[in-house]
Amino acid sequence: MLRSGNCAINIYWLQVNVMISYARFLRACLPALAVMVTGIALAQSPVTLLNVSYDPTRELYVEFNAAFARYWKAQTGQDVIVKQSHGGSGKQARSVIDGLDADVVTLALAGDVDALYINGALIPQNWQQRLPHNSAPYTSTIVLVVREGNPKAIRDWDDLVKPGVRVITPNPKTSGGARWNYLAAWEYARRKYGSEAKAKAFVAALYQNVPVLDTGARGASITFAQRNQGDVLISWENEAHLLEKEFGNRVDIVYPSISILAEPPVTVVDKNVDRKGTRKVAEAYLNYLYSDEGQDIAGKNYYRPTSAKAQEKYLKQLPKLPLFTLEQAFGSWARADKDHFEDGASFDQIYTRK
Amino acid sequence: MSALIAPSARSRSPGGTQEPKWVRVCLIAVALAFIALFLVLPLAAVLTEALRNGVHAYREALREPDAVSAIRLTVITALIAVPLNLVFGVAAAWAIAKYEFHGKAFLTTLVDLPFSVSPVVAGLIYVLLFGAQGWFGPWLQAHDIKIIFAVPGIVLATVFVTFPFIARELIPLMQSQGNDEEQAAIVLGATGWQTFWHVTLPNIKWGLFYGVILCNARAMGEFGAVSVVSGHIRGQTNTMPLHVEILYNEYHSAAAFAVASLLALLALVTLAIKSVAEWRQGKILKALGELPPERAGVYAADALTLQPAG
């Protein structure tokens, strides 16, 4: 009786021991398992980035995102999906401030990116010093697009103020591109006629010739090319080349004697990437814009690359012309906004006088 | 009394109006030209533009991942928004049409509010409430809940904009029917739910059906309010109308019109269902009209006023 009882107890203990050791084994394995599982998850679960950009960059980023996904996969084994959102630059900045979950923004002008610091503290004040060339991996400029054969003989900014020439340009209140257009014309006149007052009169005369103000650069292009409004479109250089590609023989590009160097800046949105844990891949994404492949894709899509090698390659389609920077001509975006685009500034004065 | 008027109204109808023939022809021609110019022509334009590059390109445009995701999001939005408004709409119409209470006029006005507010404002309301800088923004962000620039925001904006459709369709119908039948049902011992299910619902079913169809059409077609809260993330928060705009802006006119043709198709289906609904309603009323006079008397007047052509 006693023996068999002992035996039962022994068997019981044996079972308990086996269970305990099994549990111990599991517990010992757990960290290793966890590392393995997360390792697999990290390598295999695709990471998603959201690039909030302005209107004309759609084609550029479709191509660049595919290139970056290949590069990142080769580097880390991880898939990356980059989602795109496009719209007027100012409107897009506003959406990011209102909570659109952008990992990176690639906007039309530094002023719109500054808004992310001023209105939401989403990025640090020194954001523009974090990447080379004032955080502008590619640049662009403002050119003129005319109807086939240039029937109104438009060669330079001067021709835009002639009577009977209808000029298409978007509204500088809502469009980043339109501000570049406005400032390019202003600086041309100031250099040619020698005073701010004469520059203002010149720009006023120019806007007398504008029949309609679209809200964004792409809208203005469509008004000009698809709806056949106006004789000349003031446009981003890349947008002009895109129009030439789409509408082939119906439009010609005219390079003015001088224009403005537009630097569309890019930045990581710190507050969002730190919350989502995507800082590393977001930074790699922007750095890749400066790589040989990134620069080549920019040139191919009619943006002016910043690397000498790519500049050389695309010299034919992006010819050299005298360009002044915004800082040289107007000091800073804050100054330019205050002098020209805020309520009651120069644009309101010349446009309401109409 | 209505039974007395009815025969004379019927006997006059085959003769038609007394106007000379050319007046009639001109009026009909003007009406037809107007319809052709403003309704048929745009529809034909959408279809021809959509098929400009052939059937293959048309199919490709609809199978492209961003288009598929836009269609899916639109359907999801409608699937959430329409049932919600079905419940809200029936409840609101029921309260307004069948009961007397303080603030009834105010409630009726409130139901109409989304019709009178611009869709852009409707969208901005939600940005002001749920945006990162809005009233509830910091709390939502702390709890990692996304409303604006995500599906919930799009659904909210759609629910707001389409709110009046079902209620507006039902209120006049329920008011004209009165609550005699409901009172009879209650007197005979029916519960509230039985009254609704067996008496009220059968009476309003075609009107309700039409309201749902209209609500659905608007939910799928809404642009303004959704545009404000969408964030325009391709393949994620773009609905069909937004996708059409994007394609058009990218110079993909044929693809834009291919997706637009789906929305046009939705409009046609809506019209067809509306016709069926009205036809069925008419048939019920006609059947009532053919009942013996002592039973039909009450309904005949209604039947004739709803069917002027007799």
Please give chain B's pLDDT, 310 residues, in tens: 444 444 444 444 455 567 888 998 999 999 999 999 988 898 898 888 888 888 898 998 899 999 999 999 999 999 999 999 999 999 999 889 888 888 888 988 889 999 889 999 999 999 999 988 888 988 888 888 888 899 999 999 999 999 999 999 899 888 888 888 888 998 998 888 888 888 888 888 888 988 998 899 999 999 999 999 998 898 889 999 999 988 888 878 888 999 999 998 888 888 888 888 778 877 777 776 776 655 544 444 444 444 443 3
E strands of A11-157, at which residues? 47-54, 80-87, 104-106, 138-147
Is residue B214 within 8 A of residue B136, CB to CB? The reply is no
Q: Where are the domains of chain A?
A: 46-136+264-313, 139-262+322-352
DSSP-assigned letter for residue B64 = S
Is residue A340 within 8 A of residue A194, CB to CB? The reply is no
E strands of chain B, at which residues? none
**A59, A120, A222 ranked by CB distance to B133: nearest:** A120
Can you tell me whether residue A95 is helix, strand or coil? helix
Structure token digits, residue A249 = 């023989």
Which has the minimum average pLDDT: A43-52, A81-90, B85-94, B236-245? A43-52
**Considering only CA atoms, which of B152, B145, B236, B247 is closest in space to residue A49?**
B236
Which has the minimum average pLDDT: A29-43, A275-289, B61-75, B157-171? A29-43
Tokens 């393949």 found at: B235
- From A221, which residue of chain B is nearest by alpha-carbon distance? B249
Tokens 């084609």 found at: A59
Q: pLDDT band for position A207 (50/70/90)?
A: very high
Question: Who has greater pLDDT, B17 or A181?
Answer: A181
Tokens 């690639």 found at: A106
Mean pLDDT of A198-223: 91
For A217-253, letters b (16+ CB in 10 Å) and e give bbbbbbbbbeeebbbbbbbbbbbbbbbbeebeeebbb
Q: What is the dihedral of CA A212, A213, A214, A217, to 10 degrees?
A: 120
pLDDT value for A173: 86
Can you tell me whether residue A259 is helix, strand or coil? strand
> Quick one: which H or E segment has residue A18?
helix A2-44
Q: Please say if the pLDDT value at position A1 is more than 50.
A: no
Mean pLDDT of A73-90: 91
Interface test with A, best of B120, B233, B242 (most A CBs within 10 A): B233
B289 close contact with A: CB closer than 8 A? no
- From B235, which residue of chain A is nearest by alpha-carbon distance? A83
pLDDT value for A133: 92
CA gap A352, B95 in Å, rounded: 52
Residue B8 Cα distances to A79, B13, B14, B152, B284, angstroms = 79, 9, 11, 58, 22
- Minimal C-alpha gap between A72 and chain B (Å): 21
pLDDT value for B301: 43
Q: pLDDT band for position A76 (50/70/90)?
A: very high
CA gap A89, B126 in Å, rounded: 21
For domain A139-262+322-352, give the CATH number. 3.40.190.10
- Minimal C-alpha gap between B251 and chain A (Å): 8
Side chain identity, residue A150:
N
Q: Classify domain A46-136+264-313 by CATH architecture.
A: 3-Layer(aba) Sandwich (3.40)
Q: Please say if the pLDDT value at position A24 is more than 80.
A: no
Pairing verdict, β A104-106 and A266-268:
antiparallel
Question: Who has greater pLDDT, A304 or B12?
Answer: A304
Side chain identity, residue A138:
Y
Q: pLDDT band for position A254 (50/70/90)?
A: very high
**Considering only CA atoms, which of B279, B280, B281, B300 is closest in space to residue B289?**
B300
Q: What ipTM is given for this predicted complex?
A: 0.71
CA angle A96, A97, A103 (to 5 degrees): 40
- Minimal C-alpha gap between B197 and chain A (Å): 45
Structure token digits, residue A14 = 């044996």
Mean pLDDT of A77-96: 91
Side chain identity, residue A226:
Q
pLDDT value for A216: 81
Q: Please say if the pLDDT value at position A194 is more than 70.
A: yes
Q: Are B132 and A120 in contact (CB < 8 Å)?
A: yes
Interface test with B, best of A54, A65, A100, A174 (most B CBs within 10 A): A100
Which residues of B fall within a CB distance of 8 Å from A246? Answer: 251
Q: Please say if the pLDDT value at position A352 is more than 80.
A: no
Q: Please say if the pLDDT value at position A151 is more than 50.
A: yes
pLDDT value for B15: 53
Structure token digits, residue A227 = 């709806």
Which residues of A fall within a CB distance of 8 Å from B133? Answer: 97-99, 119-120
Q: What percent of chain A has pLDDT over 90?
A: 64
> Quick one: which H or E segment has residue B45?
helix B41-50
B149 close contact with A: CB closer than 8 A? yes
- Minimal C-alpha gap between A47 and chain B (Å): 15
Residues 6+ apart with CB under 8 A from A291: A71
pLDDT value for B309: 39
DSSP-assigned letter for residue A49 = E
Which has the minimum average pLDDT: A5-14, A194-203, B100-109, B231-240? A5-14
Q: pLDDT band for position A351 (50/70/90)?
A: confident
Which residues of B fall within a CB distance of 8 Å from A272? Answer: none
CA gap A106, B29 in Å, rounded: 56
pLDDT value for A11: 47
